[in-house]
Amino acid sequence: MQAQNYIKKNRIKRKITKNVLLYQEKYVILYQNCKHIKKIKQIIIGIVWAIMGLYVLLMILTHVAPVQQFLGSQAANALSQKLGTTVAVGRLDIGFLNRISLDDVVIMDQQNKQLLRASRLSAKIDILPLLQGRLSIATAQLFGAHIQLYADSLGATPNYQFALDSLSSRDTLDQSPIDLRINSLIMRHSSVKYDLLNKPQTKGLLNPSHLNLTDISAHLILKTLRDDSLNLTVKKLAFNEQSGLNVRHLSLHAEASTTDATISDLVLRLPHSELTLGDLSAHYQINQGRLANNSLHYRGSIQESTITTNDIACLLPQCEQITDQLLLSSSFSGTMNSIDVHQLRLVSADGNIALNSTGFVHHWNQQPAWQVNLDQLMLSSSLINNLQTILTDKVSLPDIVTRLGTINLQGEAEGTGQVFNLNAQLKADAGSLSVDMGMHDSERFDGHVQSDGINLNTLLNDDQFGTASIDLDVSGRLNESRTPSVSAKGTIPVFDFKGYQYHHIAIDANYTDDNIDGIITIDDPNIRLSAEGSANIHHGQLNSCQLKASLSDFRPSILNLTHQWEHDHSCRYRV
């Protein structure tokens, strides 16, 4: 028994000894591996510190003026070779975290005229998207940038075309698709000038052929710019234009694809105006890079906006002296060749103007078909007088228009090509008038004019006249090189003259080539007249006249013509 216990104890000791030796061997191996890992760790740390030190050294060097100037000259040489023109860069500054700045940049065009001058151009580029073939710019800044663009004529090669050509791929088979993102683009104290050199200048008028935008301040976010899509947000855009246009704030969001486009949240603020658009959407098809025929359909609206007329004096110089505020709203839709205005409302804050209308124009590229439904057009007498004062230098309103007083017009008009119909009712302080006219081709027209009462005293500014009512059929022909030919036939039921009201007047008159002929009859209790005659009037001068008349039951004293004869007179005249 003792011998067995002894043997068992020896086995346990040998097993423990063996395990201890095994663990010692593993520990030695692990210790040796740890020493190698520490060495590798020290090498990696050393490399990282070396890279960081080198980067910091480069940062320090690039902030030294001579180094910045040297880098700037190298960048200018590279850009000159790429663009094929003269480029100057004052200095290049490589900032922390991938920011590059160019100062005092000047780029000349191929006519050796200044194309671009900028105090500073800077951008911070994201590295990871660049490795994936995408250009993502975290921030971009243009300070003191002044761009001058021009072309000799419309369709001629502009002075900036060479720059676009140099940046595009010359191998169309190996052309990389556009994939650009700019998280923030800021532009300050900049200007853009564009001129078509063969077009005349128009001082004080907005002219697309001569644009000069100054004091540009902009903040843009370009989320996506690809060959097939666009996502752009204009946080703020402000500028002045040489015509006097002062845009204090413009903001919008735009998205576009190969089939759809939308513009939303558009707000435009001028010194005394604010224009707000509802969502503007468009659907279309693109074939081979071009808009497919008849594929465009669009829809949009103008939310109630405030327009002050002197803010748009760059479009209508006559409005410069008018400070009226107008409230504008509208909704519309259309295609490539048509527009439908579902609602147009324009009201002035002071009540001087009110417009409420609908209408459309279709097929304007062929034979236009159009319609206007005028529910209301009101122009106050004070507004008409102001217009007369403002337009005196260039356009003179007829005195009869200014004497109408406040005008209210309702009606509708429609036409196709040179054929149209008009039905309108005019009510004014001086009376009312209904017109039903038609144009049957480029020359012939006819219609009906009727009024229950027009105050001739007010219209003609002559106390001898009073109220008149008319009921006439009118027809005629327009002549390109001559005055129109006009015929009028109908009755004048009431006509006041010198305090007497005449009744039952009938006329049948024609006017052609300065010749007037016609018949007039009056069947009034105090005068019965039948007259027929003709006259030739040229440049306001009466050249000849023929008249045949019959007069009876003539009581001049009652007619307030004269009080020399108190008795009835009847006579016949031939001249």
Mean pLDDT of 215-234: 92
In which band, very low, low, confident or very high, does the pLDDT at 80 lie, cut at 50, 70 and 90?
A: confident
Residue 111 DSSP label: T
Residue 51 is assigned to a structural domain of this protein: no
CB of 447 closer than 8 Å to CB of 459: no
Q: Quote the CA–CA distance of 144 and 164 in Å, as a whole number.
A: 22
Residues 342 and 463 in one domain: no
Residue 425 is assigned to a structural domain of this protein: no
pLDDT at 163 (0 to 100): 83
Residue 56 is assigned to a structural domain of this protein: no
- Whether 88 has a pLDDT exceeding 70, the answer reads yes
Bridge partners of 489, per DSSP, are 473, 508
Q: Quote the CA–CA distance of 516 and 534 in Å, as a whole number.
A: 5
Residues 318 and 367 in one domain: yes
Mean pLDDT of 231-248: 94
Mean pLDDT of 488-504: 93
Mean pLDDT of 195-202: 92
Residues 84 and 182 in one domain: yes
- Whether 54 has a pLDDT exceeding 70, the answer reads no
Q: Quote the CA–CA distance of 341 and 476 in Å, as a whole number.
A: 33
Q: What percent of the chain has pLDDT over 90?
A: 43
pLDDT at 164 (0 to 100): 81
Widest distance between CA atoms in the chain: 182
Higher local confidence (pLDDT), 364 or 339: 339
Lowest mean pLDDT among 8-22, 208-222, 328-342, 386-400: 8-22
Taking only the tens place, the pLDDT of each residue in 400-447 is: 888 888 999 999 999 998 888 999 999 998 899 999 999 887 788 999
State the chain's mean pLDDT as an integer: 83
Residue 328: domain span:
279-402
Mean pLDDT of 120-131: 77
Residue 75 is assigned to a structural domain of this protein: yes
In which band, very low, low, confident or very high, does the pLDDT at 173 lie, cut at 50, 70 and 90?
A: very low
Which of 257, 289, 305 marks a domain boundary? 257
Residue 166 is assigned to a structural domain of this protein: no
Q: Quote the CA–CA distance of 444 and 419 in Å, as a whole number.
A: 9
pLDDT at 341 (0 to 100): 96
Distance set, CA 138 to CA 164, 222, 286, 475, 521 (Å) = 23, 10, 31, 72, 88
In which band, very low, low, confident or very high, does the pLDDT at 478 lie, cut at 50, 70 and 90?
A: confident
SS3 290: strand
- Whether 575 has a pLDDT exceeding 80, the answer reads no
Taking only the tens place, the pLDDT of each residue in 264-279 is: 999 999 999 999 999 9
Name every residue whose Cβ is closer than 8 Å to that of residue 109 and which is 6 or more positions away in sequence: 85, 115, 159, 160, 162
pLDDT at 390 (0 to 100): 64
Which of 402, 422, 454 marks a domain boundary? 402
- Whether 555 has a pLDDT exceeding 60, the answer reads yes
Q: Quote the CA–CA distance of 273 and 317 in Å, as a whole number.
A: 17
Q: Quote the CA–CA distance of 533 and 92 in Å, as a whole number.
A: 93
Bridge partners of 329, per DSSP, are 345
Residues 137 and 248 in one domain: yes
- Whether 104 has a pLDDT exceeding 80, the answer reads yes
Residue 154 DSSP label: T
Mean pLDDT of 125-150: 80
Residues 244 and 369 in one domain: no
- Whether 65 has a pLDDT exceeding 90, the answer reads no
CB of 343 closer than 8 Å to CB of 359: no
Residues 253 and 285 in one domain: no
Distance set, CA 70 to CA 59, 63, 66, 102 (Å) = 14, 12, 6, 12
Q: Quote the CA–CA distance of 494 and 466 in Å, as a whole number.
A: 10
Residues 102 and 201 in one domain: yes
pLDDT at 440 (0 to 100): 86
Residues 462 and 551 in one domain: yes
Mean pLDDT of 467-480: 89
Given 3-state DSSP classes, what are the helix, strand and coil percentages for the chain, each rounded to the nearest 5? 20, 55, 25
pLDDT at 381 (0 to 100): 86
Distance set, CA 485 to CA 470, 503, 512 (Å) = 20, 28, 5
Residues 323 and 203 in one domain: no
Taking only the tens place, the pLDDT of each residue in 349-395 is: 888 899 999 999 998 888 889 999 999 999 988 888 777 666 655 66
| pTM of the entire predicted model | 0.75
Which of 193, 225, 257 marks a domain boundary? 257
- Whether 171 has a pLDDT exceeding 60, the answer reads no
Q: Quote the CA–CA distance of 443 and 422 in Å, as a whole number.
A: 16
Residues 217 and 285 in one domain: no
Q: Quote the CA–CA distance of 69 and 63 in Å, as a whole number.
A: 10
- Whether 27 has a pLDDT exceeding 60, the answer reads no
Size of the chain, expressed as the number of residues it contains: 575
CB of 146 closer than 8 Å to CB of 128: no
406 closest CA partner among 360, 452, 359, 348: 348
Q: Quote the CA–CA distance of 157 and 199 in Å, as a whole number.
A: 15
Residues 534 and 439 in one domain: yes
Task: Tally the domains of the chain.
Answer: 4
Residues 216 and 341 in one domain: no
Residue 227 is assigned to a structural domain of this protein: yes
H/E segment holding residue 507: strand 500-512
Residue 273 is assigned to a structural domain of this protein: no
SS3 37: helix
pLDDT at 136 (0 to 100): 76
Q: What percent of the chain has pLDDT over 70?
A: 79
- Name the token pair of 379: 């122009």
Lowest mean pLDDT among 54-68, 119-133, 185-199: 54-68
Residue 514 is assigned to a structural domain of this protein: yes
- Whether 82 has a pLDDT exceeding 70, the answer reads yes
65-83 and 2-62 helices, crossing angle to 10°: 80
Taking only the tens place, the pLDDT of each residue in 318-336 is: 777 777 889 999 999 999 8
pLDDT at 410 (0 to 100): 95
